[in-house]
Structure formats: structure tokens, C-alpha cells
A and B are shown apart, each in its own frame.
Chain A
Amino acid sequence: AQSVTQLDSHVSVSEGTPVLLRCNYSSSYSPSLFWYVQHPNKGLQLLLKYTSAATLVKGINGFEAEFKKSETSFHLTKPSAHMSDAAEYFCVVSDRGRSGYSTLTFGKGTMLLVSP
């Protein structure tokens, strides 16, 4: 079974400062990893994904994440936070579920708060 641990339930930053959202995973296979963002009462938007190509993955809105197999980590970073980045962020690992198809296992989420 695969699992995802998001180490912080809340992260608070000031606008213009760097963002770090931490994620560790466990997997029996070569995983695919994703970061999704969810604004209040909205669906999920894909920020970026790792699928065994380059370990440093660049996504939308200036976010990037680095896959570190030795540390089983996939932390999300952004050099400078913007007010519009305030949202819930989910780290996700791809799994092969009961259906036999790839399914997604979600972390519990990290709420990013950005202050002026």
C-alpha cells in the first residue's frame, strides 16, 4: 500500500517570502507524484507532476518540486509567495487500486496562509 504524509497542516508566510510545503511518501513501486491546489469550495487544479523523468519538476504559477528517492520526499517550493497562493495544497501519489487501475492516494493537505 502507498501512503503520503504532509508534515504540516498549516503553513503561514508573508507575501514575497519563500514557500516550502513538505511531503513524504511510501511506495512499493516507482511512484508518480503530484501536487494539487484547491481554493475554497472549488475543485482541484494540478500544479505539477513527477513521472520518472527529471527529478526537479517545474509547475504552474512559479511552483516547483524535487523528487528525492533517498529521502522519499517530494517537497513543493516557490521563491516568492503571492496573496493568490493562499489555498489548500495536496500531495498525491499514484497507486494501483482495487479496480486494477491507477488511483490516487491523497495526503491530508496543507493550508497555506499568506499575509500582506
Chain B
Amino acid sequence: GAVVSQHPSRVICKSGTSVKIECRSLDFQATTMFWYRQFPKQSLMLMATSNEGSKATYEQGVEKDKFLINHASLTLSTLTVTSAHPEDSSFYICSASWSGRYNEQFFGPGTRLTVL
């Protein structure tokens, strides 16, 4: 149980385009979802926390107009990288938790974004 999927697993796009990444909890209702960014050979950095039906809370230094997060249902959150540039190239990982398990997060397999 507690499986989280991400789609796509890998995406390559041109500079200036927007890219949407989906995060789904497959077998549970995720009251809270988290988006992380991981640069090569570095640790995960939390970008934002989102709760179903409300606005996401962004970490300091993360541009909310650049990284649009929508958590429209208890099983789906999306991250849209708007007007992507090469410096946005990274590994994006989502995770999900539910109200009874605040401390534990279940991670998706990640999405590798390459902006040319």
C-alpha cells in the first residue's frame, strides 16, 4: 500500500515552454502533498507543501509564479514549471501523506526535467 506515482518520468522541453508534472496517490487519499527538487549529487530541497483544495505554501526562495502547484483532489497534485529555462533542469520528486500519518511521507519515483 501507500503507492505514489509520477508522470512523466522524464521530459525534455525547449526553453520558454511550460511543463506539467502529475503526482498521484494510487491507493490512499493524500490530504497533503509535497514537492521537492533535487540537483545532481545533492539532497532533496522542499519546494512547497499543498493541501487538497487550498493554496500551496512555498518555501523561501521558491517562486510561486514560476512553479504552479494545484492540489485539486485527494489523489492528484500537479506541478507546472512555467516558461522553463535550462536552470530549471532538475529531478522533481513528489510525496504524499494523509492525516493519520503526518510524519511519514510516501515518495513518487521522480521526474527528470531537461530544458534545452
Contacts and interface: CB of A to CB of B under 8 A. Distances in A.
A99 B57 contact: yes
B43 A44 contact: no
A101 B49 contact: yes
Interface in A25-66: 32, 34, 36, 41-46, 49, 51
Interface in A67-111: 90, 94, 97-109
Contacts of B42: 108-109
Contact of B57 (A34, A98, A108): A98
A43 B93 contact: yes
Interface residues of A, number: 26
A7 to B, nearest CB: 14
Interface residues of B, number: 29
Contact of A41 (B95, B103, B112): B112
A44 B107 contact: yes
Contacts of B67: none
A21 B78 CA distance: 35
A41 B107 CA distance: 13
Tell me what chain B mostly uses at the interface: helix, strand, loop, or mixed. Answer: strand
B104 interface: yes
B110 A41 contact: yes
B108 A43 contact: yes
Nearest to A97: B49
Contact of B46 (A32, A45, A49, A97): A97
Contacts of A98: 49, 57-60
B77 interface: no
A102 to B, nearest CB: 5
Interface string B93-116: 101010000111111111010000
Interface of B: 4, 6, 32, 34, 42-46, 49, 51, 57-60, 91, 93, 95, 97, 102-110, 112
23 contacts: A32-B103, A34-B104, A41-B91, A43-B6, A43-B108, A44-B44, A44-B93, A45-B107, A46-B106, A49-B103, A94-B103, A99-B51, A100-B57, A101-B51, A102-B102, A102-B103, A103-B34, A103-B46, A104-B46, A104-B105, A106-B43, A106-B44, A109-B42
